[in-house]
């Protein structure tokens, strides 16, 4: 027999960036526990459309935990109570029958609300663009051993590159800091010889753009790493600081 639950969704509704928002509570009956959270929102939206009401706007794309678009703040946690997972990987079996589930957009001055649960995360794109290019030879692929890289460095670079830029770190941080995201993007290049040419310019430009866009300062509470769906390490922030101090000292 299929397990089902009934829940209340307390959802943030906001018609636009300049409009005043507020919570609206919806009741959902007989939801299978193997339904994903995004599918539950789909079910709710189908019901709203049938009633002639405005559906809830929320971001989604791959629904495979890869793109990071499903940026929802659920019961006080970015992406919900499941650790190491995005919202699209969250299933209703994580919740209890009769539970009230609070759903909000990311809360950050740098991520303004577009509508309902959708926020503008172009700030992350601007930070990456500030990092610029990487110099390396183009043309045919080099032999695997042409540029010797230790396995430790290669593994750490790959772990850092797994950041999907979802913004959960910003949403989790009491200061709205983007340091975990920026440090991951700096680390994935700083650890490899291909990223050394522009290393000093890159770290200074990315941090300057982060400050310009209104992200807060890091106070090392660790909430960002604890809530990150890709388990990006807090040690990346220490590496970012070392890279930045080294770049400034060489000026």
Contact 63, 69 (CB under 8 A): no
pLDDT of 146: 73
Q: Look up the pTM and report it.
A: 0.92
* Mean pLDDT, the chain, integer: 94
pLDDT of 251: 73
Instruction: Give CA–CA dist 103/156, Å, rounded.
Output: 34
Contact 182, 240 (CB under 8 A): yes
pLDDT digits (tens, 9 = 90+) for 111-144: 999 999 999 999 999 999 999 887 766 667 667 6
Both tokens of residue 208? Answer: 């300057």
- Comparing CA positions, the residue from 108, 104, 26 lying closest to residue 71 is 104
> Quick check: 1 pLDDT over 50?
no
Average pLDDT for 144-152: 80
Gyration radius of the chain's alpha carbons: 21
Cite the residue boundaries of each domain of the chain with CATH code 3.10.20.30.
4-114
**Helix, strand, coil in percent for the chain, rounding step 5:** 40, 15, 45
Query: What homologous superfamily does CATH list for 4-114?
Result: Beta-grasp domain (3.10.20.30)
In terms of Cβ atoms closer than 10 Å to its own Cβ (0-12, 13-18, 19+), residue 110 is buried
Cite the residue boundaries of each domain of the chain with CATH code 1.10.1060.10.
121-249
Contact 183, 240 (CB under 8 A): yes
Q: Give how far the C-alpha of residue 175 lies from the chain's centroid of Cα atoms, to the nearest Å.
A: 16
User: CATH fold of 121-249, please?
Assistant: Fumarate Reductase Iron-sulfur Protein; Chain B, domain 2 (1.10.1060)
């Amino acid at each position: 027999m299929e397990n089902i639950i009934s829940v209340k969704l307390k959802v943030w509704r906001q018609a636009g960036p300049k409009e005043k928002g507020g919570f609206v509570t919806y009741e959902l009956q007989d939801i299978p526990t193997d339904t994903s959270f995004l599918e539950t929102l789909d079910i709710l939206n189908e019901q709203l459309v049938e009633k002639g009401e405005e559906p809830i706007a929320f971001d989604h794309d791959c629904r495979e935990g890869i793109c990071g678009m499903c940026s929802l703040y659920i019961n006080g946690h970015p992406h919900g109570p499941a650790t190491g997972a995005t919202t699209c990987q969250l299933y209703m079996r994580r919740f209890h029958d009769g539970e009230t589930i609070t759903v909000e957009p990311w809360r950050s001055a740098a991520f303004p609300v577009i509508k309902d649960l959708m926020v503008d995360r172009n700030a992350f794109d601007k930070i990456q663009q500030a990092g610029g290019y990487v110099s390396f030879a183009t043309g045919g692929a080099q032999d695997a051993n042409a540029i010797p890289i230790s396995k430790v460095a290669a593994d750490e670079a790959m772990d850092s590159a797994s950041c999907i830029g979802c913004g959960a770190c910003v949403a989790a941080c009491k200061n709205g800091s983007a340091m975990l995201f920026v440090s991951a993007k700096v680390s994935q290049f700083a650890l490899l010889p291909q990223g050394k040419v522009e290393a000093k310019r890159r770290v200074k430009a990315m941090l300057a753009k982060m400050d310009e866009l209104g992200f807060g300062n890091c106070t090392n509470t660790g909430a960002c790493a604890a809530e990150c769906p890709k388990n990006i390490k807090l040690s990346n922030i220490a590496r970012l600081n070392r890279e930045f101090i080294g770049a400034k000292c060489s000026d």
